[in-house]
Amino acid sequence: MPLDQTNMSARFAECFGHSPDWTVRAPGRVNLIGEHTDYNDGFVLPMAIDRAVWIALRPRDDRIVSVYSIDYNQAAEFSLDLIERGQPGWIEYIKGMAWSLQQAGYILKGWEGVLTGDVPLGAGLSSSAALEMAAARAMAAVADIPWIPAEMAKLGQRAENQWVGVNCGIMDQLISAAGRAGHALLIDCRALHTDPTPLPEGTSVVVLDTSTRRGLVDSAYNERRAQCEEAARSLGVPALRDATIERLEQSADAMDPVVFRRARHVISENARTLRAAQTMRRGDPTELGRLMAESHRSLRDDYQVSSDELDAMVESASEHGACFGARMTGAGFGGCAVALVRSEEADDFARRTAAEYEQKNNRTPAVYVCKAADGAEAM
Ligand code: ADP
Ligand code: MG
């Protein structure tokens, strides 16, 4: 059963005996194009998906936040006056959000609620950002804090970076906070400006999880970041966002060839992402798909963050007649691919691509046909 306000109220009533004062939801996300550009001050083009983290809640008179997680069948609580780091677990995301809001000077109030979600955990659809933004929405609702998506996203990123200890960019929280139904958001990661961009009519977005995860991700991610910084330094720009392909090519001789290729990916990916947004405004799925395919090749060959399984998934997806284009999405080395497909044939695409991948790779993928949803809301 899909989650909604009615069944969240029922879940809350099972625990507390009456209806909640508030129900909040914050969605997961998938990035259509613009990969490894966020930490280069560049552009990304994610959409919020129709899977979310939900909390039904009511305020308390004291300063305790008390939450029951339906999915973990577990209760946890903490005091807003003494937030201390505990064992890793779901409550740490909520504590981190409270900590970061208080650090920013917001006066919070206690609340109690029930928590559940249908964003798959650890699948690359950013259930952690959805949980942070749901927690932020809950705390904003009870303490009467205005919902300023970019501000809340920054504080969510800070919670994830500094409290949970995961080095992520701003994209996940910002799209979860500010998404728009039927649209992706072109995000300028420097200005934190968001620009809603319509999905071409008659298209669907399908997420294809390879069911592979790699331990390498953290070290490779840090290495890529360092290479980008080195490239920006040698080009004399604050970030690769400020460089052009022409400028890079002029400097090729003075650069390490690997660093050169890393920079070529980021610079070309920023240009592709801006073009993708223009293409969407023209309603041209063919060109958007072509840009996605080009993005995959750049990530595979220049940035070298793909994997055999991701390449296989993208290849299987691209062979289907309904597919406009496909690419790996997320940090890479495993995780998900994303495809833009003709809506009418989305289910056939999902079934056949999954079957072909499974047959060739001996692994069962998870496939999600997604709709572009609104960002976090309180009802
Ligand atoms: P991802 O963000 O890629 O889904 P993460 O490891 O960053 O994966 O975040 C997953 C964690 O977020 C889970 O281990 C859990 O602690 C928390 N989380 C996400 N969704 C829920 C949920 N519905 N209920 C409780 N905790 C959740
Ligand atoms: Mg996460």
CATH code of residue 244:
3.30.70.890
Residue 283 alpha carbon to ligand 2 centre in Å: 31
For residues 28 and 133, membership in a common domain is answered with: yes
For residues 73 and 153, membership in a common domain is answered with: yes
Is the residue at 376 inside a domain?
Answer: no
Is residue 308 annotated as a catalytic residue, yes or no?
A: no
Number of structural domains (the chain) is: 2
For residues 109 and 187, membership in a common domain is answered with: yes
308-335 pLDDT tens trace: 999 999 999 999 999 999 999 998 999 9
Residues within a 6 A CB radius of ligand 1 = 53, 69, 71-72, 89-90, 93, 115-117, 119, 121-128, 131
pLDDT reading at 124 higher than 90: no
Closest to 43 measured CA to CA, from 239, 203, 251, 234: 239
Determine the average pLDDT of the residues in 248-252. Answer: 96
Residue 172 alpha carbon to ligand 2 centre in Å: 8
Q: Which ligand is nearest to the CA of 90?
A: 1
31-50 pLDDT tens trace: 999 999 999 999 999 999 99
Q: Which ligand is nearest to the CA of 123?
A: 1
Is the residue at 377 inside a domain?
Answer: no
Nearest CA to ligand 1 atom 12: 128
Q: Dig out the tokens for 294 from the structure.
A: 């080009």
Percent of the chain with pLDDT over 70: 100
Catalytic residue among 41, 118, 172, 209: 172
Determine the average pLDDT of the residues in 251-276. Answer: 97
Is the residue at 378 inside a domain?
Answer: no
Is the residue at 267 inside a domain?
Answer: yes
Q: Which atom of ligand 1 is nearest to the CA of 168?
A: 7
Going from the C-alpha of 62 to that of each of 65, 80, 86, 100, 252, the distances in angstroms are 9, 9, 21, 20, 62
For residues 26 and 131, membership in a common domain is answered with: yes
Provide the 8-state DSSP code for 116.
E
Q: Pairing state of beta strands 64-69 and 183-188?
A: unpaired
- pLDDT tier for residue 128 given thresholds of 50, 70 and 90: very high
Is the residue at 312 inside a domain?
Answer: yes
Q: Which of the listed residues 198, 228, 256 is the one where a domain comes to its end?
A: 198
Phi-psi region of 365 (alpha: psi -120 to 50; beta: other; left: phi over 0): beta
For residues 48 and 100, membership in a common domain is answered with: yes
What is the full DSSP assignment across 272-324? Answer: HHHHHHHHHHTT-HHHHHHHHHHHHHHHHHTS----HHHHHHHHHHHHSTTEE
Q: Which atom of ligand 1 is nearest to the CA of 89?
A: 16
Which CATH number is 98's domain given? Answer: 3.30.230.10
Residue 19 alpha carbon to ligand 1 centre in Å: 26
For residues 154 and 234, membership in a common domain is answered with: no
pLDDT reading at 175 higher than 90: yes
Nearest CA to ligand 1 atom 2: 126
For residues 217 and 313, membership in a common domain is answered with: yes
Is the residue at 375 inside a domain?
Answer: no
pTM (2 d.p.): 0.94
Q: Dig out the tokens for 251 from the structure.
A: 């400097």
For residues 368 and 269, give the distance between their C-alpha atoms in angstroms, rounded to a whole number.
Answer: 25
Query: In the prediction, which pLDDT does 123 show?
Result: 85
Chain-centre distance for alpha carbon 13? 31
Query: In the prediction, which pLDDT does 121 show?
Result: 92
Determine the structural domain holding residue 266 and report its residue range. Answer: 203-370
